[in-house]
């Protein structure tokens, strides 16, 4: 317990960690309370009041369907955070399992799986996501899968390298000598000791996932209208850049701040969990 | 060195084969009947049969792959299902635009990134250092699609300094020779058109170069700080050399080796990752064309575009690795385990 408390205290002393955590917590709160905080229904169209500049009724103005931009941005945090979390979960589950098994068992399984990972790394990440969307078709769910899949090789490599570094250590061998079965060794002896790098990768990965998913939606390959997603709102704002620039200001700020928040937290965790880096 | 080059080239073959299998599988991984997906719900049975025959879907898998691979080796990427044009030709006409943009972006990112990194390392723990680090954090967190729109809003719409989109003012069009407009305009002796092309390049290159700039600045700073603690640098200081000489000759020369690698890798990413920037600025490159092909579910075009961009990425990475080995003998002497 004292170890946890010490780590927590260190985290609180890190300026980037505090700023990042505050930003992330604000977004989480907005996502949870979006229904309460939104002054209007994010999907309700009001063609009489379309493309209105910011006013007392519509703080951030309205879009070309007369929808309240503020309400859409607030609800967008729900969509984007879920997108990021699901994508990271997919990457962690698939990549983590591959890394764990290849690192622990080695042999031909390791050889083949790592060559496949190398092949996936031969794609610039956005291109990999586009391939997945090309196969599955453009939608919000498929964007989550695409962004998750493109991160799989990264997780697989980090988990594999971490497993390799602890596999031969004495406590793992002791666990084996005591007759523990492989799943137990993996779950009890190895996994808790490689959690650090995984947590760092996942928190930085959330930032990348939110950014990439918004990028896919911006290209029309992710969330489809009328879902209030930041990337697709920006895509819509592109058409209105000359007549209603307010439509693209708020969603852009939202993506930037959310990504910045997770990057700050990830950087701080890396500083704290990996003493080799300063 | 020769054996290192051979070893690296040898690794290229299975990677490219793997890429060909992956792009080939693209059509087969589509849930359901790919022909039905491409033609939509209202396709007639005759049209479906014809498309299946055209794609070779009615043949055994190994035969399909064999035909695909032999086509690739002959430079044949098939025909686009939407435009009926040869995919290789469609890519060929668009590739110079992508390459010109990526090159301009990486030049911008490298010059300013390296300069910012040196400055931050020289003034470590100062305001300048903090500003460079904060700027680079903002850079990697920046959604470039938003940055691009803001840049258009400010510099094109409000200030009228730079053009809104495209590569050249249509009234200034020059005969196409290389496809690289900066070169073509010079060859045509049209300096006014050259300036126009350069002006069109500024905003997209800046937007596309933002993330690489941030990454390069961080890398240069880290590499400089790493080298600055080495004994020979301390010796250089002790000899009484000027700060300028120590930093630029002794430190930078060695710090640039890892930085060059990062610049090369970023260039590879830019070639494939210019997709979003091309979309914002209506840049007629391969990336924008690829997005349209995905939306239209034109699988032949997607296969060709993805294969080309991924191959380029692999080749750029290989060239970077080889250059790294030239610059740092430890890499090629480290043996073939890597």
DSSP code, position A181: -
Which chain B positions have a beta carbon within 8 Å of A122's beta carbon? 15, 18-19, 310, 313-314, 317
Query: Among A2-6, A155-159, A168-172, B3-7, whose mean pLDDT is lowest?
Result: A2-6
Quick one: pLDDT at residue A275? 54
Inter-chain contact B146–A264, Cβ cutoff 8 Å? no
Q: B304: phi > 0 → left, psi -120 to 50 → alpha, else beta; which?
A: alpha
Q: What is the pLDDT at residue A44?
A: 84
Q: From chain A, pick out residues whose CB is under 8 angstroms from the CB of B33.
A: none
Q: What is the pLDDT of residue B332?
A: 67
Q: Model confidence over B116-147: pLDDT tens digits?
A: 999 999 888 889 999 999 999 999 899 998 99
Overall average pLDDT of the A20-26 stretch: 96
Mean pLDDT across the stretch B299-319? 87
Best probe of the A interface among B14, B141, B337, by most A CBs < 10 A, is B141
Residue pLDDT, tens place only, A75-114:
999 999 999 999 999 999 999 999 999 999 988 989 889 8
* Percent residues over pLDDT 70 in chain A: 97
Residue count of chain B: 338
Per-residue pLDDT reduced to its tens digit, A112-121? 898 888 888 8
pLDDT reading at B99 higher than 90: yes
Q: Collect all residues with Cβ–Cβ distance below 8 Å to A149 and sequence separation of at least 6.
A: A90, A91, A94, A128, A129, A132
> Across residues B55-61, what is the average pLDDT?
82
Closest CA to A261 of A89, A26, A90, A13: A26
Give the mean pLDDT of chain A: 88
Per-residue confidence (pLDDT) for residue A277, from 0 to 100: 47
Evaluate the omega torsion of the peptide bond into residue A226 and state whether it is cis, within 30 degrees of 0: yes
Q: What percent of chain B has pLDDT over 70?
A: 97
| Complex prediction ipTM | 0.85
The closest alpha carbon to A78, from A16, A36, A17, belongs to A36
User: With 70 as the cut, is the pLDDT of residue A1 above it?
Assistant: no
Dist CA B303 CA A46 (whole Å): 42
Structure confidence by residue, pLDDT tens digits, B151-203: 998 999 889 999 988 998 988 888 888 889 899 999 998 999 999 999 999 99
Rounded CA-CA distance B207/B147 in Å is: 7
Residue B309 pLDDT: 85
pLDDT (0 to 100) of residue B334: 60
Over chain B, what is the mean pLDDT?
87
- Measured distance CA(B239)–CA(B150) in Å, rounded: 51
pLDDT at A192: 86
Nearest C-alpha in A relative to B222: A278
Give residue B268's pLDDT.
Answer: 82
CA dist A21 → A8, A76, A218, A262 (Å): 12, 19, 27, 8
Q: pLDDT tens digits, residue range B196-255? A: 999 999 999 999 999 999 999 999 999 988 888 888 888 988 998 888 888 888 888 888
What was the pLDDT predicted at B310?
Answer: 86
A169 neighbors A190 (Cβ within 8 angstroms): no
**Residues ≥6 apart with Cβ < 8 Å to B325:** B1, B4, B331, B332
Tallying the residues shown for chain A, one arrives at: 278
Long-range CB contacts (within 8 A, 24+) of B54-63: B55/B27, B55/B299, B55/B300, B57/B27, B61/B28
Question: Does residue A278 register a pLDDT over 50?
Answer: no
What part of B 130-159 touches A (C-beta under 8 Å)? 137-138, 140-146, 149-150, 152-153, 157
**Minimal Cβ distance to B149: which of A126, A131, A241:** A241
Binned at pLDDT 50, 70 and 90, residue A263 comes out as very high
pLDDT band for position B299 (50/70/90)?
confident
User: Could you tell me the two tokens for B249?
Assistant: 């000759």
B308, pLDDT greater than 90: no
Chain A residues within 8 A (CB-CB) of chain B?
115-116, 118-119, 122-127, 130-131, 133-138, 207, 211, 214-215, 218-221, 231, 234-235, 237-238, 241-242, 245, 248, 251-252, 255-256, 259-260, 263-264, 267
Q: What is the pTM of this model?
A: 0.87
Q: What is the mean pLDDT of residues B265-287?
A: 87
Cβ of A126 and B276 within 8 Å?
A: yes
């Amino acid at each position: 317990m004292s170890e946890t408390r010490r780590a927590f205290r260190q985290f609180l002393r890190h300026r980037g960690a505090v700023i990042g955590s505050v930003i992330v917590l604000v977004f989480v709160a907005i996502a949870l309370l979006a229904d309460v905080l939104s002054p209007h229904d994010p999907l309700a169209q009001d063609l009489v009041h379309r493309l209105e500049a910011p006013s007392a009724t519509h703080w951030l103005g309205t879009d070309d369907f007369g929808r309240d931009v503020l309400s859409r941005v607030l609800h967008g945090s729900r969509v984007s955070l879920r997108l990021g979390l699901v994508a990271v979960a997919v990457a962690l589950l698939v990549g983590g399992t591959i890394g764990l098994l290849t690192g622990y068992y080695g042999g031909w399984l390791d050889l083949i799986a790592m060559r496949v990972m190398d092949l996936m790394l031969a794609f610039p990440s956005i291109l990999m996501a586009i391939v997945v969307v090309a196969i599955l078709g453009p939608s919000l769910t498929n964007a989550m899968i695409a962004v998750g899949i493109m991160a799989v090789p990264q997780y697989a490599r980090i988990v594999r390298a971490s497993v390799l570094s602890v596999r031969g250590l004495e406590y793992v061998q002791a666990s084996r000598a005591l007759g523990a079965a492989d799943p137990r060794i993996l779950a009890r002896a190895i996994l808790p000791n490689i959690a650090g790098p995984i947590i760092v990768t996942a928190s930085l990965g959330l930032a990348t996932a939110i950014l990439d998913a918004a990028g896919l939606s911006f290209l029309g390959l992710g969330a489809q209208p009328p879902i209030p997603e930041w990337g697709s709102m920006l895509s819509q704002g592109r058409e209105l850049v000359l007549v209603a620039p307010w439509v693209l200001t708020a969603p852009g700020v939202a993506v930037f701040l959310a990504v910045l928040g997770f990057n700050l937290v990830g950087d701080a965790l890396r500083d704290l969990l990996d003493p080799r880096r300063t | 060195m020769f054996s290192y080059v051979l070893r690296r080239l040898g690794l290229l073959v299975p990677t490219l084969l793997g890429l060909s299998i992956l792009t080939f599988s693209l059509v087969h991984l589509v849930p359901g009947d790919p022909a039905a997906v491409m033609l939509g719900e209202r396709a007639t049975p005759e049209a479906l049969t014809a498309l299946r025959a055209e794609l070779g879907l009615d043949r055994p898998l190994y035969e399909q792959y064999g035909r695909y691979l032999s086509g690739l080796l002959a430079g044949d990427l098939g025909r686009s299902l939407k435009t009926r044009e040869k995919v290789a030709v469609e890519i060929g006409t668009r590739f110079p635009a992508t390459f010109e943009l990526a090159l301009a972006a990486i030049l911008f990112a490298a010059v300013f990134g390296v300069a910012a990194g040196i400055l931050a390392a020289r003034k470590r723990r100062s305001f300048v250092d903090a500003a460079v680090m904060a700027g680079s954090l903002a850079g990697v967190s920046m959604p470039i699609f938003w940055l691009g729109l803001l840049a258009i809003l400010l510099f094109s719409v409000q200030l009228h300094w730079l053009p809104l989109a495209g590569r050249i003012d249509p009234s200034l069009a020059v005969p196409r020779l290389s496809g690289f407009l900066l070169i073509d305009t010079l060859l045509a002796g049209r300096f006014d058109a050259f300036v126009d092309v350069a002006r069109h390049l500024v905003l997209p290159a800046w937007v596309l170069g933002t993330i690489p700039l941030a990454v390069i600045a961080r890398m240069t700073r880290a590499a400089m700080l790493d080298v600055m603690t080495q004994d020979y640098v301390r010796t250089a200081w002790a000899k009484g050399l000027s700060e300028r000489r120590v930093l630029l000759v002794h430190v930078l020369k060695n710090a640039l080796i890892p930085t060059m690698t990062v610049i090369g890798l970023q260039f590879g990413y830019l070639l494939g990752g210019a997709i979003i920037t091309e979309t914002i600025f209506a840049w007629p490159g391969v990336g924008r064309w690829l997005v349209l092909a995905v939306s239209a579910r034109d699988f032949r075009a997607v296969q060709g575009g993805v294969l080309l961009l991924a191959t380029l990425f692999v080749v750029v990475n290989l060239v970077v690795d080889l250059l790294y080995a030239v610059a740092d003998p430890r890499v090629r002497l480290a043996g073939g385990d890597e």
